[in-house]
Amino acid sequence: MHTPKPDPANLCWLDMEMTGLNPEHDRIIEAAVVVTDADLNILAQSESYAIHQSDELLKGMDAWNTSTHERTGLTRRVKDSTLSEAEVEQRLLDFIAQWIPQGASPLCGNTVHQDRRFMQRYMPRLEAWFHYRNLDVSTLKELARRWHPAAYKSFSKKGSHRALDDILESIEELRHYRQTFLRLPEANGTNQEAS
């Protein structure tokens, strides 16, 4: 894609698939990141890493997670993977460091507070890499649903529940809201200073 160069204006998009919603007993089973510039042009994307978890943990998933992860093939990838959460954390950190200085990018994606909860527990160094702010596309989705239903209804998600696919869809969704809901004047966002 592009030559890596750390730029504090770049954005790091992350998605994880988990065995459930509770980081107290559920675990991360897939993770990926995509780096964009401030104008949402994709600069690079990591591999989508399946993380090995025990058969016992996978058997303990609820019906929705069991069905979804079986259907997408993720359960098989998790069983076949030899990567731990710590190894994937390091690979993602190595990837992100090529593009973004530590503490510069908010955590970008959809409902990213959930990913952050799991990172705090299982990938704390990765969580600490991000700025404390979030760029959560689900906020715009909820505002559009209430304030501009046409913009909300004119974007439909496929919802593949695979980390890399979901990230790319989140970027596309933010582009959609930028065009249909935010209606920003023409400007180059990369020249604006963040506070």
Q: Which residues in the chain belong to E strands, given as ranges?
A: 11-18, 28-36, 42-45, 49-50, 107-109, 134-136
pLDDT for residue 183: 74
Q: What is the pLDDT of residues 96-134, one digit of tens each?
A: 999 999 999 999 999 999 999 999 999 999 999 999 999
Domains of the chain with CATH codes: 11-135 (3.30.420.10)
How far apart, in whole angstroms, are the C-alpha atoms of residue 14 and residue 181? 23
pLDDT digits (tens, 9 = 90+) for 1-40: 688 999 999 999 999 999 999 999 999 999 999 999 999 9
Q: Is the pTM of this model over 0.85?
A: yes
- pLDDT bracket for residue 191 (50, 70, 90): very low
Q: Where are the beta strands (DSSP E) in 38-83?
A: 42-45, 49-50
Looking at residue 164, its pLDDT comes to: 96
Active-site positions?
Answer: 132
pLDDT in tens, 165-189: 999 999 999 999 999 998 767 666 5
Rounded average pLDDT over 56-60 = 97
**Mean pLDDT throughout 130-147?**
97
159 Rama class: left (phi>0) / alpha (psi -120 to 50) / beta:
left
- State the DSSP code for 178: I
